[in-house]
Structure 1
Amino acid sequence: MQPFLEPDSPRVRSAMEANQVEHMTYLARSLPGAIVKDTPGLLLVDSGLPCNTFNVVCRARLERHEADARIAAAVSHFRDKAFPFAWWVGPDAAPEDLDARLSAHGLVNAEQELGMSMDLSRLPGLALPSGLCIRRAEDEHTLTDFARVVAANWEPADPHVLDFYARTAHVALAPDSPIRFFVGYLDGEAVAASECHRAWGVAGLYSVATVRHARRRGIGAALTLAPLLDAREAGYRTATLQASAQGQGVYSRLGFVPQGTFREYQ
């Protein structure tokens, strides 16, 4: 286990990206039929599912003389299978003109997110909205509820999300799993989800989601706080996340500070 990182450590930014990379690969490594190509300078994850949530290229640290050939090979891997995928460019990606090279290979910058970190000692207390209870997923039924909420981010709901978590449940729920899944139930209905991946000395927050009809009630805020408070209780001092433009203000008010940008190319 990596030592807990202090919020002011100069290693927080690199740990933030390493945590994200670990989050993208941990369950995929156990998925039958998945391919994880972990090579110097580049990591490719092919889940075997036609879903760019789980098909990713990341952790690019490419030498300039080889960059175009390796980009072409990674892009061809998915295009030859007609599989969607996402290429994530983190704050320490190389070469420095990687974005331009990805564009030249036909990829489009679909989203930009702000990497952020937080001192967990600054967390406020958790106040649950009326009718809401939060459970940590410790069995397949609750993990399925988590997956259903996440899948509902798409319209129609993405069935590949349900498939992925069903097929990796034995690893996701194992006692030594670094991932904690949380589900919010409003009057007994699963309406919100979040997860925390504990790796590289930081607690990475992911998959914060609330179904449409339960939004604007403080439920998303509760599902943000619950995994962070859980991580703090376990000794973690620093949390990290990648925030969309819509979420940056919310996380800033909570105490998160910028640590660099992440770009998603498709």
Structure 2
Amino acid sequence: MAEAIKMEAPQNSLVEKIEVNLAEYSFFLGQIKQGQIYDGREVKWVSTGGPIFNRILNAHFEPEELNQRITETVARFKAANTPVTWLIGPATQPLTLGSQLEKHGFTYRGYWHGMALDLNHLSERPQVAAGLTVERVKDYQALKDWIDLACSGFQFSAKVTQAYQETLGNLRLNANTPWKPYIALIKGQPVATCVMYTGSQAAGLYWTATLPAAREHSVGTGLTWELLREAREMGYSTAVLHSTQMGLPLYERLGFQDYCKIKIYTWDNRSKLLQTLVKIKAKLHL
């Protein structure tokens, strides 16, 4: 019995760190111009005023009030005619929330793998392409270029890229911001992106994207490892991320372990562009 308790406690703690970092990251995205944040005990949500990064998460509803609470929570997004993503993690209650969301017009889009790594056990630097360097983005022109590069890595259309430019381009960007974008270069040429979000309990990684032509050079692995090393130097003991199925091999090679699933449900107003944006975000951990 004692052995089982010892095994469960660290895992529960890591799952909490995974969910907390996602909530903190989402709240930061809500700080853009026109953004709104609601940090309630029963539910949290972020509204950016635009077509992307609108999120509902950490719901804890009483089963008998579930349908009423869903209607109330989604009302502001429907009134504004903006799409929204509802994220369901291990702590979400009740367990029937997902099936009820579908009755309210939401579509199930799959799930992310909630992963964590003990930075005290970070592996040695992996073998990567010669000439790989990593730089932090520190000014708004560089951020604009970073967004273009990330969207190229994900192979987004010009319209989708513009939507991200209009939203991410308004984020706070200074030495103390927890949202830290990085760029990887090979012999001075930008080839990959990643964001490190320095949260209260863990360092989270988001927006890992590599240009198609550079994917055979372990650029993503090298960039991710450099950010993990930096997070450790900042004093973090845990790194977390939310991976698609495609990204699992990269992160597992670096020592990340899969601890939970974050289920994704989306609602949109049937605009073709907005549907595209919602589907993209459901596939990628942005």
Q: Identify whether the pair has TM-score above 0.5, normalized to the shorter chain.
A: yes
Q: CA deviation at 1:78?
A: 2.0
**Residues 57-136 of structure 1: matches in 2 within 5 Å?**
57-123=56-122, 124-125=124-125, 127-136=127-136
Q: Once the two structures are superposed, what CA deviation does each residue of 1:185-227 show, in whole Å capped at 9, x if it has no partner?
A: 2343322111111213211111111122322221111121121
Distance across 2 between alignment mates of 1:127 and 1:179: 27
RMSD (CA atoms): 2.0
Report the secondary structure of 1:183's partner residue: strand
Contact 2:221-2:254 within 8 A present in 1 as well: no
Q: CA deviation at 1:72?
A: 1.6
Q: Which moved more, 1:73-82 or 1:223-232?
A: 73-82
Contact 1:150-1:193 within 8 A present in 2 as well: yes
Q: CA deviation at 1:151?
A: 2.6
Partner of 2:164: 161
Q: TM-score, normalised by structure 1?
A: 0.88
Contact 2:184-2:191 within 8 A present in 1 as well: yes
Q: Which amino acid aligns with 1:102?
A: L
| Alignment partner of 1:28 is 2:27 | no
Distance across 2 between alignment mates of 1:247 and 1:145: 24
Distance across 2 between alignment mates of 1:16 and 1:109: 21
Distance across 2 between alignment mates of 1:8 and 1:254: 20
Q: TM-score, normalised by structure 2?
A: 0.82
CA separation of 1:9/1:40 partners in 2, compared to 1, >3 Å: closer, same or farther?
A: same
Distance across 2 between alignment mates of 1:248 and 1:128: 18
Q: CA deviation at 1:250?
A: 2.4
Partner of 2:16: 14
Partner of 2:184: 184
Distance across 2 between alignment mates of 1:189 and 1:48: 35
Q: CA deviation at 1:76?
A: 3.1
Q: CA deviation at 1:119?
A: 1.2
Q: CA deviation at 1:137?
A: 1.3
CA separation of 1:214/1:36 partners in 2, compared to 1, >3 Å: closer, same or farther?
A: same
Q: Which amino acid aligns with 1:115?
A: G
Q: % of aligned pairs identical?
A: 27
Q: CA deviation at 1:75?
A: 2.7
Partner of 1:4: none
Distance across 2 between alignment mates of 1:142 and 1:8: 39
Partner of 2:271: none
CA separation of 1:141/1:128 partners in 2, compared to 1, >3 Å: closer, same or farther?
A: farther
Distance across 1 between alignment mates of 2:51 and 2:11: 39
Report the secondary structure of 2:217's partner residue: coil
Distance across 2 between alignment mates of 1:60 and 1:150: 31
Contact 1:151-1:162 within 8 A present in 2 as well: no
Q: Once the two structures are superposed, what CA deviation does each residue of 1:114-141 show, in whole Å capped at 9, x if it has no partner?
A: 1111111222215441343210112223
Distance across 2 between alignment mates of 1:163 and 1:186: 28
Partner of 1:41: 42
Q: CA deviation at 1:145?
A: 2.5
Q: CA deviation at 1:65?
A: 2.5
Q: Which moved more, 1:189-198 or 1:8-17?
A: 8-17
**Residues 185-264 of structure 1: matches in 2 within 5 Å?**
185-264=185-264
Distance across 2 between alignment mates of 1:137 and 1:127: 24
Q: CA deviation at 1:249?
A: 2.5
Report the secondary structure of 1:118's partner residue: strand
CA separation of 1:258/1:147 partners in 2, compared to 1, >3 Å: closer, same or farther?
A: same
Distance across 2 between alignment mates of 1:71 and 1:149: 37
Q: Which amino acid aligns with 1:120?
A: L
Q: Once the two structures are superposed, what CA deviation does each residue of 1:33-64 show, in whole Å capped at 9, x if it has no partner?
A: 1122222211121111112xx11111111222
Contact 2:116-2:257 within 8 A present in 1 as well: yes
Distance across 2 between alignment mates of 1:126 and 1:233: 18
Q: Which moved more, 1:16-25 or 1:57-66?
A: 57-66
